[in-house]
Amino acid sequence: MLGTFSISASSLLKLKLTLCLTACFAIAGLHSANAQDPQGPPPPIPRLKPKVQEIDPADVISVTTTEVLLPVTVRDNTGQLVSGLTRTSFRVFEDGAEQPLSDLALRQVPVDVVLLVDASSSVSDNLDDFRRAAEGFTLHLAADDRISLIQFDDRVLLLQDWTKSIAQLRRALRRVAPGMFTRFNDAMLLAARDQLPRANARHAIIVLTDGIDSGRGSTFDAALRAALQSQTTVYVVSNTEIERAKKQSELSVLLTASGSVQRFNELRIGDLRLGLEALDASERNLDQLTRATGGRVYKPTTFNDLERIYKEVAEELRHQYALYYSPLNRTRDGGFRRVRVETTESQHRVSARIGYFAPK
């Protein structure tokens, strides 16, 4: 159902939120590499308030079964995906202790993918490129995979709930409409925490963005925590290189102009320098987000590359190994369990989530 979010609060809150979002959408007319040394788990996760998509302290999502599903991508030293590995090819460590992999360690499992699109001013002129890339991406999904679509700018809008229908997604893509600001952190948090996958599916988010948040909602740490708690793999198609090239070109023209021209454009020069610094900071956040969740950052130099990149992400999702293990540490304390995955071949590069939150 369009506009429905699955949330982790009480049944009453679910009902209120569903009614509220449905009403809001009707009124609006539907405006159209594995990191092993993070700095510990981020701050507590926020939650969505009814009526306005603002943030409040709340419940968290964590592993609720005794078996952990760990999607893992393996590449060789040339960057090519490695297939054909068996259970004996992998070693999994939790908080430094090796874990026994289950007999079903290489089960084929479906994937539920959230397509998250930044419709703010930095991307709005190229939404047609995103639509084509998104449609092409769906052609590479398996029959049992599902997809949903969320747009974010000044708002965060669920344009299409989980579906296997390419026709439904195509209609939803036509409803993507440009906005102004960027609620990136809110969008990531909602996609990870509220747009939940099936119990037997992998969860992935693919987001097109420059990652620069407008600072009006939740924090980056909260978004990162939500992705880790929901065991979501995040792939980012970042337009930071495209934006950087534009800003650097304009800045170079101004800095090579006469002194009087530079003085006249002093404010603009300052804005461009701040913008470049913001892009640098955003890239560091996006790299941390993707490495921590076992995903990847792509930095195209032109929007014409989007179709190729989305196809590459689909290829990676098809070639992921789904490792299962039952943790030796069965303490139900809600603590963060740090995970490391290795293969028996030293030249392999392994990408996997850095850990998970134990149940309480």
Supply the CATH number for residue 16's domain: 3.40.50.410
Do residue 293 and residue 304 come from a single domain?
Answer: yes
305 and 336 in a single domain? The answer is no
At residue 31, the pLDDT reads 40
Same domain, residue pair 269 and 325? no
Is residue 45 over pLDDT 60? no
pLDDT at 82 over 80: yes
pLDDT of residue 199 exceeding 90, the answer is no
Mean pLDDT of 1-5: 42
Sign for the pseudo-dihedral over CA of 350, 102, 147, 228:
negative
d(CA 272, CA 286): 21
Helix (H/G/I), strand (E/B), else coil: 349: strand
Q: What is the mean pLDDT of the chain?
A: 83
Q: Are residues 298 and 208 in the same domain?
A: yes
Q: Do residue 130 and residue 203 come from a single domain?
A: yes
Please name which of 329, 296, 339, 347 lies closest in space to residue 36, comparing C-alpha atoms. 339
- Asked if the model's pLDDT at residue 226 lies above 80, the reply is yes
Residue numbers of the domain that contains 25: 11-59+110-318
Indicate if 160 and 20 belong to the same structural domain: yes
Q: Which of 98-102, 104-108, 175-179, 354-358 has the lowest mean pLDDT?
A: 104-108
Whole-angstrom distance, CA of residue 314 vs CA of residue 308? 10
Distance CA(51)–CA(20), nearest Å, equals 6
Q: Are residues 18 and 74 in the same domain?
A: no
pLDDT digits (tens, 9 = 90+) for 154-186: 999 999 999 999 999 999 999 999 988 899 999
> Is 3 inside any structural domain?
no
What is the reported pLDDT for 216? 80
Query: CB burial class (10 A; 0-12, 13-18, 19+) of residue 113?
Result: buried
Is residue 5, in this structure, part of any structural domain at all?
Answer: no
Residue 112, both tokens: 């539920």
Least confident among 14-23, 44-53, 338-347: 44-53
Position 269 in a domain: yes
295-319 in b/e form (b: 16+ CB < 10 A) is bbbbbbeebebbbebbebbbebbee
- What band does 106 get if pLDDT is binned at 50, 70 and 90? low
Asked whether residue 2 is assigned to any structural domain, the reply reads no
DSSP string, 246-268: HHHHHHHHHHTS-HHHHHHTHHH
CA distance 341 to 204: 19
The answer to whether residue 283 sits within a structural domain is yes
Are 185 and 251 contained in the same domain? yes
* Domain contains 145: yes
- CA 105 to each of CA 30, 90, 316, 334: distance values in angstroms, whole numbers, following the listed order: 42, 10, 18, 24
Residues 198 and 268 in one domain: yes
Selection from 66-70, 95-99, 332-336 with the highest mean pLDDT? 95-99
Sequence-ordered strand ranges (E) for the chain: 46-48, 55-57, 68-75, 90-94, 97-99, 111-118, 146-152, 156-163, 202-209, 232-238, 296-298, 321-325, 336-343, 349-352, 355-357
Q: In the predicted model, is pLDDT for residue 117 greater than 90? A: yes
**Does one domain contain both 215 and 324?**
no
Do 36 and 141 lie in one domain? The reply is yes
Whether residues 179 and 297 fall in one domain: yes
Residue 326 falls inside a structural domain: yes
In a domain, 4, yes or no: no
Are 153 and 181 contacting, i.e. CB atoms less than 8 angstroms apart? yes
**For the chain, how many structural domains are there in total?**
2
Q: What does the pLDDT look like over 294-308, one tens digit per residue?
A: 999 999 999 999 999
**pLDDT of amino acid 217:** 86
Residue 98, C-beta contacts closer than 8 angstroms, at least 6 positions apart: 91, 92
So what's the pLDDT on residue 107? 56
What's the full length of the chain, in residues? Answer: 360
Q: What is this structure's pTM?
A: 0.79
Asked if pLDDT for residue 228 goes beyond 90, the answer is yes
